[in-house]
Structure 1
Amino acid sequence: MTARVSRRDRAAFGFFCAVAIAIGAMTLGFLVKGPAAKPQPQAQGTPNQNIEARIAQLETHLKTSPRDVNALLSLGDAYLNSRRAMEAFRLFQRTLDIEPGNVHALSDLGSLYQQIGQYDKALDSYRRAFESRPDHTGSLLNMALIYSRHKGENARALELLQQFLNSNPEPQLVATAEQEIARIRQVMQAANSPASPAPAGRD
């Protein structure tokens, strides 16, 4: 038991370090936008206060019901909304310990891995999500984008994009997929085209 926890802690440590870097970059992005406008008084509290209250409520509930999957996922999402990616990662992993095929947890883990550049782990999470629930076609689109933009496997990306389009997704996502297909074909065509001939010399 001790060895298992130790391996998990070591694996999580590397992830958390990468997430910390990503969070730092995200924080800088928010800071450069300048000071926020002075908030107006709200009877029901600010959004941040509402999120923190929800987090406290869910944390209290999970102390007595630690295997409540819906609460684990809700708390993980709340952590994401408050930019606490490391805590969210732990919650999604706990969810998978209880339900290894939970699509929500797998998809969010895939997104976290993708954001910090751990593309192989992101692909594995998205693949498991799709295998667990084949109607979760968003996983296909995410995998296709990783294959085309980060792995250089354009043929595989096109295959997944076509499979995605055959699933009749939302119109907005159709446009994203079609734009990516056009981009990939343009890249492949440029790579396969012969070099331009050298200009003929003058007599």
Structure 2
Amino acid sequence: MLTPRIFALLLLGMSYLPVAHADNLKEIVQLANSGQATQALERLDTHIRANPKDAQAIFTRGVILAEVGKRDEAIKSFVSVTEMHPNLPEPYNNLAVLYADQGQYDKAKKALETAIKTHPSYATAHENLGDVYARQASEAYDKALQLDNSNSRAQNKLSMIKGLFNGSYKPVIVGNKEQKPAEPAAKPAETAKPAEPAATPTPAAPAADSADPAVVAAVNAWAAAWASQNVDGYLASYASSFKTPKGEARSDWENLRRERISKPAKISVDLSNIKVKMDGDKARVSFQQSYRGGGLAQRTSKTLFMVNSGGKWLIEQEIADN
């Protein structure tokens, strides 16, 4: 799932929240904007202890916590705001973003439906709800391809959905522009378009019409197994004649791959600009690969040399250009 990133942090102009400490909150948010999130959170905690009903401050705390990666604590903050103001859509939307980032799509869907129920015209929640449905559908098609990588129907449906879904949910942040109090929903600020953190790859159609679609399906199945940390499925994508990157023994290479794939809590692998060059029962597949996992984010140009072995397209050689 995408990890939403929050850039600008200024005071959210909501008329229903206390304004007596607005200047103090603005200073705290400016600290966060300047990269001093720890100091900002310390001041916020002090402020909230003195003003435990200040939903503005608690909402701001949730935003900063989400930005620094403390998502469980951020969730608690947004839940607190929903308990104080159950008819506000913004906290529910941000809860949905965090739930979706954790792969908890049912919770994300419920939170978004609540946001829409409170404010049916809240466009951001409607868009995010559509993205949640798209992600669930894409994972189902990915699973179908893992079980049968020659399923062209699932491949076509997956490609269509991935073309519509960019994997980026929109959190409502402490906005960088003053918003009109009369508006029912806060206008979201720009969010990043990072590589999709969900455990599914982003497939693309081959460049040449003459390319065997089973080649692209095999590449996407390989990436899907990697992203879902299905190590056995991942290793099964390599031919018995596979040339290990450094000439090491196949068993040593497999052991290293098992360790690296299994270790991160979550992996995302996105493929784009796939190009296929066919040569009989061999194929050369090049693409851009975006990898995120275990604190590492890397974009790589990669080429797979594949062979049709027993009706299956398998990887004989893998070359990465970092």
Q: Please give the TM-score of this superposition, normalised by the length of structure 1.
A: 0.55
Tell whether 2:59 aligns with 1:107.
yes
Structure 2 counterpart of 1:158:
109
Give me the whole-angstrom Cα distance separating, in 1, the residues matched to 2:132 and 2:98. 13
Which residues in structure 2 correspond to 1:1-203 (within 5 Å)? 69-149=21-101, 151-168=102-119, 171-190=122-141, 193=144, 195-196=147-148
Give me the whole-angstrom Cα distance separating, in 2, the residues matched to 1:166 and 1:184. 22
* 1:90 shift after superposition: 2.2
Give me the whole-angstrom Cα distance separating, in 1, the residues matched to 2:125 and 2:137. 18
Q: Helix, strand or coil for the counterpart of 2:134?
A: helix
Give, as a single letter, the amino acid of the residue that structure 2 aligns with 1:164: A
Q: What stretches of structure 2 of length at least 5 have no aligned partner?
A: 8-19, 152-309, 312-322
Report which of the two has the higher share of strand: 2
On the 8 A contact 2:109/2:129 being kept in 1, the answer is: no
Q: Greater relative contact order: 1 or 2 (C-alpha under 8 angstroms, separation 6 or more)?
A: 2
Give, as a single letter, the amino acid of the residue that structure 1 aligns with 2:69: G
* 1:170 shift after superposition: 5.3
- Seen in structure 2, the aligned counterparts of structure 1 residues 172 and 83 have a Cα distance that, compared at 3 Å, is farther
Give me the whole-angstrom Cα distance separating, in 2, the residues matched to 1:94 and 1:78. 16
Q: How many residues were matched structurally?
A: 135
Q: What stretches of structure 1 of length at least 5 have no aligned partner?
A: 1-21, 27-67
- Seen in structure 2, the aligned counterparts of structure 1 residues 168 and 117 have a Cα distance that, compared at 3 Å, is same
Give, as a single letter, the amino acid of the residue that structure 2 aligns with 1:80: A
- Seen in structure 2, the aligned counterparts of structure 1 residues 118 and 197 have a Cα distance that, compared at 3 Å, is closer
- Seen in structure 2, the aligned counterparts of structure 1 residues 103 and 153 have a Cα distance that, compared at 3 Å, is same
Q: Please give the TM-score of this superposition, normalised by the length of structure 2.
A: 0.36
Give me the whole-angstrom Cα distance separating, in 1, the residues matched to 2:83 and 2:32. 25
Give me the whole-angstrom Cα distance separating, in 2, the residues matched to 1:84 and 1:138. 25
Q: Identity of aligned pairs, percent? A: 16
Give, as a single letter, the amino acid of the residue that structure 1 aligns with 2:104: E
* 1:127 shift after superposition: 0.6
